[in-house]
Amino acid sequence: MAREASAGRQGHVAWRQLRKNRLALAGGAVVLLLAAVALCAPLLAPYDPAAYDVKQILLAPSPQHWFGTDQLGRDVLSRMLYGARISMAVGFVSVGIAVLLGTLIGTLAGYYGGRVDELLMRFVDLMLNFPRLFLLLTLIALLRPSIWVIMAVIGFTGWMGLARLVRGEILSLREREFVQGARALGAADARIMAKHILPNALVPVLVSATLGVAGAILTESGLSFLGLGVQPPTPSWGNILIDGKANIEIAWWLSAFPGLAILATVLAYNLLGEGLRDALDPRLRQ
């Protein structure tokens, strides 16, 4: 009961601190708005994103087509709305994979130490020695590009930094009195890690996950721009940018709107992540 009350007080203090950060709140509002848009895309889209009309090719923004049309006469706004679903899905699923792997490996390395720590951390160092972009390109080139492959590849190449963060937290927690007390009572290692250590190491995990969503969205957009991401006709902000590149001189809107959407999304997640870090870390509270 005492621990629950303490956690409640800490949560109240963190929320009060977060409310003072207007940039973080603005970022959170944009994130919620993007999530709502992604969920409601079928209701919000004025046209079928895959429907093309040769009579409507490369029309500039107008009351009929707010974001204009592309080289096949498809409504860009509708494709942007459906593309938000792809970006959000890639961000959350890939970060979920990275968080799961990073938390597991970091916890095992920090808790057991010794040879286990040495082996796992050398594996992390080995993975970090491979440039992530080339690793991504290699894996995607070996596999057939699809939304699920993109999610998995981004997740499996993005967990190393989180593993190091979690390991550092576990190293500082494993010798604390409540952990020693649980050991003295005969609690199993798995129970100690799951019930006593991990809940106290969630701050860096939460912050890293929030920032990681922004990175995953940016990575997916870059891969799609290179033609190795989500494949047409499925709309994504990255492959809409490809259309903009081919028509940059006559159709500025094909580059401007997806580019601004990516910028706003990445900025919003970064602002929210920085605000959560400042609010949840007692050492950073003013």
Please report how many Cα atoms fall inside a 13 Å half-sphere around the Cα of residue 20, on the Cβ side: 9
> For the CA atoms of the chain, what is the radius of gyration?
22
Q: Domain ranges for the chain, please list them.
A: 2-284
Closest CA to 86 of 142, 158, 151, 154: 151
The residue assigned the tokens 């961000």 is 91
The residue assigned the tokens 């970006």 is 87
Report the predicted TM-score, pTM, of the whole model to 2 decimal places: 0.83
Using an 8 Å Cβ cutoff, are 106 and 165 in contact?
A: yes
Which H or E run includes 14? helix 2-20
pLDDT at 99: 93
pLDDT at 281: 64
Q: pLDDT tens track of the chain, all 286 residues?
A: 444 444 445 556 667 777 888 888 898 899 999 989 989 998 998 998 888 888 888 889 999 989 988 888 899 999 999 988 888 888 899 999 999 999 999 999 988 888 999 999 999 998 888 887 787 878 777 877 778 888 888 898 889 989 998 998 888 888 788 777 877 777 787 888 888 788 878 878 888 888 888 888 888 888 887 777 777 788 888 888 887 887 888 888 988 998 899 899 999 998 988 888 877 765 545 5
- CA distances 32 to 28, 174, 251, 272, Å, are 6, 36, 30, 11
Between CA 5 and CA 20 the distance in angstroms is 23
Using an 8 Å Cβ cutoff, are 170 and 121 in contact?
A: no
Between CA 21 and CA 14 the distance in angstroms is 11
pLDDT at 80: 92
Tell me which CATH code domain 2-284 carries. Answer: 1.10.3720.10
Between CA 147 and CA 151 the distance in angstroms is 6
The residue assigned the tokens 């390395």 is 109
Q: How many CB atoms lie within 10 A of CB 11?
A: 12
Helices vs. strands in the chain: H and E counts, helices first: 13, 0
pLDDT at 9: 56
